Every structure is written in structure tokens, then in C-alpha cells.
Amino acid sequence: MSNNTASLPPVLEKLVQKLKRQSDPKRRYELLIWLAQKLEPIADQLKVPDNRVPGCTSQVFISARLEDGKIYYTGDADAQIVKGLVTLLVQGLSGLPSQDILAVDPAFIQDSGLNISLSPSRANGFYNILQMMKQKAALLDQAADLAS
């Protein structure tokens, strides 16, 4: 097995390792549901088309803000498993500079074992959520560069 977690941000790596230790797909789902319960609710005014993740079967919203050179995310989903995936990424990527977020290799999904546990549509949605978070980080970084 490859080790794609070596260059992951510390919080994301810790969450991936927790998932990786669960050999039973049911236990991974339970962990995702537990994570979903930890997600801070997103404000209703942030549930706008610009924050909706395209290509997800569930309704997923991701919002990002830049604060002191670091990106902070909030998110929500209307399905518990997907909400757990959102929580994984929100917790794992918030508080990082955009270049660290942009450097995250999506191959960590295989290392976590989620690619085996998730249906193809959920796995694709997970990639779409990560891609949107990266896009938002790049846009916030670009806006900050223009403002300075």
C-alpha cells in the first residue's frame, strides 16, 4: 500500500489514520456519522449556489474565508455520511495557508480506506468537495494578492 498521508496536514492525517485503522467498512461509516455530529452548522445565508458543490448527489455546501493568511471552512450536507466527509475535510483543512491546501493529494482517500467503503457516487462527491475547497482556497489567495 502506498503512503500518501506522509505529506498531509497534521489534522487531516490524524483523521485519515483513524479511518485507516477501521478494517470493517461499517465501522468507517460509524466514524463518519460521529464526525457529522461534530460539524458546526453553516449559516443559512451561505447556502447559495456559489457554495453548492457540483456533482454531488446530496446537497453539499462549502464556504471559505481568509483570515490572517489562513483559510477557514464551514460546510453542510443533507446526508449524514456525506456530512461526515465534509467534516473530515473541514476539520482537516481549516486553518491552513492556501498553498498547503492546494498541495493535498487526493490519493489520501485510498489510504483512508474510504474508496472501498463508499459507493462510487459518494467517492466522486468526496473528490468534488475536495476540489471545491481547493478552488475556494486558490480564489481567496488570488483576491488577497490583488488587494495587497
Long-range contacts of the stretch 39-43 (C-beta < 8 A, 24+)? 39/75, 39/76, 39/83, 39/86, 39/87, 39/90, 40/74, 41/76, 42/74, 42/75, 42/76, 43/74
Query: Catalytic residue among 56, 60, 77, 132, which?
Result: 56
How many Å apart are CA 64 and CA 84, to the nearest integer?
Answer: 18
- Which H or E element spans position 73? strand 70-77
- What is the grid cell recorded at 55? 456533482
Residue 56 falls in the annotated catalytic set: yes
Active site residues: 56
